[in-house]
Amino acid sequence: MSLNLSYDDENVFAKIIRGEMPKVTVYEDDHTLAFMDVFPQSEGHVLVISKLSKSVNLCDLDEDEMCFTLRAAQKVARAVVKALAPDGFRLVQYNGEAAGQTVFHTHFHIIPVWEGRSLGRHGEGMASPEELEAVAERIRHAL
């Protein structure tokens, strides 16, 4: 599969932005949306996306939107660290199916990591909305 994909307005993140699918919001501004990953690899796994850019991957993300999105990711990552006290975190961004991208709307993962705890596999183990809301509330409180 080529990295030169056209944007699909029916992808799950586009539907989330339009309010057609539920989300547990952590942070939102005019340009970005951060919400809990429903298939978390660890407690506090958050996704950060541009609300305005119809980009499939990092290569076609507008530079200004990239700056807005990365600033939001930094803000949310700081709140995750404050709220959950992980030993570290990963900022992950996949580009193309071969690299592990499953939703073709540019997005960044913030994945808290604790020593001695292994990460779950992405796409396995769907969290309940109640679990996600409880963690999101802690993160929002730390913003």
DSSP secondary structure string for all residues of 68-86: HHHHHHHHHHHHHHHHH--
**Would you call 45 a catalytic residue per the annotation?**
no
122 secondary structure, DSSP code = T
> What was the pLDDT predicted at 121?
86
Dump pLDDT digits (tens) for 80-132. Answer: 999 999 999 999 999 999 999 999 999 999 999 999 999 998 778 899 999 99
Fold classification of 12-142 is HIT family, subunit A (3.30.428)
What local confidence, expressed as pLDDT, does residue 136 receive?
A: 98
Query: CB 141: neighbour CB atoms within 10 A?
Result: 10
pTM attached to this predicted model? 0.96
The residues, any chain, with a CB within 8 Å of residue 70's CB and separated by 6 or more, are: 108
- The predicted-structure confidence for 2-60, as pLDDT tens digits, reads as follows 587 899 999 999 999 999 999 999 999 999 999 999 999 999 999 999 999 999 999 99
Determine the pLDDT at residue 81: 98
8 A C-beta contact, residue 138 and residue 84: yes
Query: Which sequence spans correspond to the domains of the chain?
Result: 12-142
Of 45, 105, 107, 109, catalytic: 107
